[in-house]
Chain A
Amino acid sequence: MIPELGQFALILALLLSAAQCVLPILGAQLRNRALIAVARPAVAGQAVFVGLAFAILTFAFVTQDFSVAYVAQNSNSVLPWYYRFTAVWGAHEGSMLLWVLVLNLWTVAVAAFSRRLPDDFIARVLGVLGFISFGFLLFMVLTSNPFLRELPMPADGNDLNPVLQDPGMIVHPPMLYMGFVGFSVAFAFAIAALLGGNLDVAWVRWARPWTNVAWSFLTLGIALGSWWAYYELGWGGWWFWDPVENSSFMPWLVGTALIHSQAVTEKRGSFRAWTLLLAIFAFSLSLLGTFLVRSGVLTSVHSFAADPKRGLFILSFLAIVIGGSLLLYALRAPKVAGGEPFAAASRETLLLVNNLMFTVAAAMVLLGTLFPMIGDAFDLGRISVGPPYFGFMFVLLMLPVVLLLPFGPFVKWRSGDFKAAFRHLRPVLLLPFALLLAAWLRGGDLSAWGRAYWGVAASLWVGLGIVLYALHRWRTLPRGRRYTPEMLGMICAHFGVALFLAGVLVVEATSVEKDVRLAPNQSVTIGTLAFRFDGVKEAQGPNFRAQQGTVSVLEGDRVVATLQPQKRVYARNQQPQTESAIDPGLFRDIYVALGEPVGDDGAWAVRVYVKPFVRWIWLGALFMMFGGLLAAADRRFRRLPEGAPAPADANTTTATGVAGATA
């Protein structure tokens, strides 16, 4: 009975989302206040029913109601209680439900904090969000109902995918979805502005913190995913360029361009068309990514064919949402675009380079991700382009970004002076050069192993450049105006880039990886560390058996760490899972994973890694995330400028909007 209530709640939410979409938008076009007023109650009602459906599915998991097919497929009676909660989003149907739930949370927040924006504008925004929700709910009701019964009820369930039985997985998908879905706010703003034929800069100011928060969540989500892959997959790699990762990375790249472009539009009134287009792109790529992952069209050849109904629905929805918004952009953008002119040497130009590079990088990743399908289309066979392509292209595209980043803050809006900026930056430029020179003089090879030097040099350039800017502000500005939260956020995030660069390039260049056959009490040494293999024992987990190895790491006679990597076999799934053991450190990780048993004397293939600076990769991402949140916390965004018009009619000219923003 209760699961049917869940399905019922979904259908009610679907109807409410239709109301939330159609009536307010219609009201805004007709200037009918009654219809406009439907928006907020519809949002609240829909959120209640989606929340109810989610609670009911969670309840079914916790009480182990295996008559629900989705529950039976993704959990079983020995699954620990905490994973029963996370199993809710362990597969397709539940992920969709989580997606809709997160969308509703964002929508409720928008409805609650938008009282000061014009009614007709916010009616359009909520209407657009309602449409997206409608599409997802319809998709669930028609093709992916999580509440389907399986009768007769199986005695026990299958299992949650063992890879997902991990603490990192508990928070990774919700964070990622918070980011993906958060871009829907910027998207809805763009569409509402295009529909209304007007882009008031005050609205962009209002939208900026939302985009920043969404971007921060996405940054955290991706970093968590990378960290999880690092310790769970037993590879020691932190990024694989596989389709699933790429689908979260593309919105991040465009989102990064978007937060910079929004800043320009809000402060200077320029880049309006870019801001609109990037807002559409960021969310479109989120949608595309969600569906590429969920439909499995890329990871597995047959999933689209398995349920053509799903594939077709997805495609039609993408066509309507993305195609529709791009068409709207093509038709209406000339009306809202335009902006202030700026000189070639100006902060605008630098941010334009940033926008271009990040957008092109996203396009490059999209191309590589869709490449297997392109191969099919031109009858070349199914081809994976793989990390060599991505790695090379990405570094190439990000090179100018890294080079120009420290200039950004030093060059003025509108008409800046590169020479003056260069004078400011000269001291930090000397340091990386000195470092490279010293490395070269010492006979270091600057091509292969030297990547570590290049990495440290780039990291110093970006990091010291931004520190220098912080000092510059300290010297030249009066107290109180030196560090607004927005400014601090920028400094923090850019400093994160420096940490990230150091982490990536040092770990790529200097990590030592050894695959060895070790019999009990045999050792292998890496640098000054000796790894002694103490043999493998059986171990028992709550719902798995494991072969647990013990590796003692010694430096001289001192035991640095005792690591216990496992090879697990879960009850329902015969595929063994590698559980690596890591001794983490700020300057190096020691990482041990078990391969296969070899020979009869208790010997195993053991993988031993020493990874210097690997934590800096995620540390950098955390700095970026905090930067985004800090900037979003700036009070300035929550103040509408004095005398800013709150246009009831949608015809306020663009010019007043610009004037309001430059004030």
Chain B
Amino acid sequence: MNPVVGVAAFAAVSLATAVIGFYGLRVSRTTGDFYVASRTVKPWWNASAIGGEYLSAASFLGVAGLILLSGTDALWYPVGYTAGYLMLLLFVAAPLRRSGAYTIPDFTEARLDSRSVRRVTSLVVVLVGWLYIVPQLHGAALAIRITTGLPAWVGPVAVVGVVCITVVAGGMRSITFVQAFQYWLKLTALAVPIVFLLFVLGGGESAAAESPSSSTANPTALAPAGPYQIISLLVALLFGTLGLPHVLVRFYTNPDGQSARRTTLIVLGLLSVFYLFPTAYGMLGRVFAPDLARSGQADALVLLLPGRMIGGMAGDLLTALVVAGAFAAFLSTTSGLVVSLAGVISQDVFGGSVRGFRLAALISAIVPLGIASMTGSVGLAGSVGLVFAFTASTICPVLLLGIWWRGLTDAGAIIGMVTGGVLCGSAMVAGSVLGAAQTPSWLAQPAAWTVPAAFAVTVLVSRATRGRVPRTMTRLMTRLHTPERPLATER
């Protein structure tokens, strides 16, 4: 493959991101524009931004790779990734927006009136963010290696470099527009090539598209997933979405709880449309590129398929588009996470100064770079699925119970988070020590028991420490669950 294609695609995406980030703000010079400039973000825009930030390497590359490997069983991943937003819509979006809190630690501190809860939540949020950035960087390493032939470390370093420069130089001033742009770029980058591929298949003119034989329909001999694994995976994905720090801060952009709900509804639609395409790639890959599964390069399927099935100039252009989409996925998720982690770290460690924010941004990008360079990637969708399991066993119980249960106490929240974190963390560690072949399914997919355990511990400890229910609880709960007063100047 032409290495220039990959480099050019990466450069173009980075440049577009930076330009929109720096100059994307609406500037008005006349009074007539004043209303335009001071209008809050419409749910459509914000939903696109959430989609842009949420669709990571796991969605863009991982889902197709997993479908190539394990067929229809892998369809539970896109289902779960999307359905998490249904939970968000029903249980979290509006109350969280009404709380007036910006980050998850802000919320838990306000709800439980305790600094210690804030510190523990911040620690968990930072841990989740780091674990989430690592697979993005692995995706970047894979994309650079496959498309340009450069050493793998170039990818993560380039992504972290671009993110650091834009965030530190103030290039995320219009983060909503950057992220919305990234969503539509990712959608285009998957949709346009697949249309061409289907067109080529229909015409039957491509040299690469030889007729499929039935023996290639299942390239690997993976055993189908049992009901436990599916349930556990769905628990992780449904509840894990509720605690993602970079998604939840986006709801602050909505002016009120009602528009937060509407935004979530649109996100559901946008994600549903998006996931049609990785699924299509996976299915085509099972027929036309089964060798990728055998050579352990399943995650590169989306990057390689257009070039394989359509050769020549057209193939190069389509590949460039897909590579651009992939880097949009790495950049948008990483920058979203870095910005929200930097917000948390700068507030809790550096006292909220401007310099502290920059330093915190560097820390939150460079630590995962170190972790990523020390480890190798195995299955993007699977690694991100484990981060969801961790989030579901730590942040989610505190968030859900904090919004819907009056009896939650600070002690219950802390012990619940620690229990969930330790259980899920040790399951992950045990799984890596044993290796995939020896790991029993209850360790490989721990969410089905760690999430209920975290909920149970949180509830039990809260019942035991009933006297610690904060005095501000009633006032805050009222605020969370009553619709806002209409603004005086609304028209």
Answer yes or no: are A and B bound together in one complex.
no
Which A residues have a C-beta under 8 Å from some C-beta of B? none
Which B residues have a C-beta under 8 Å from some C-beta of A? none
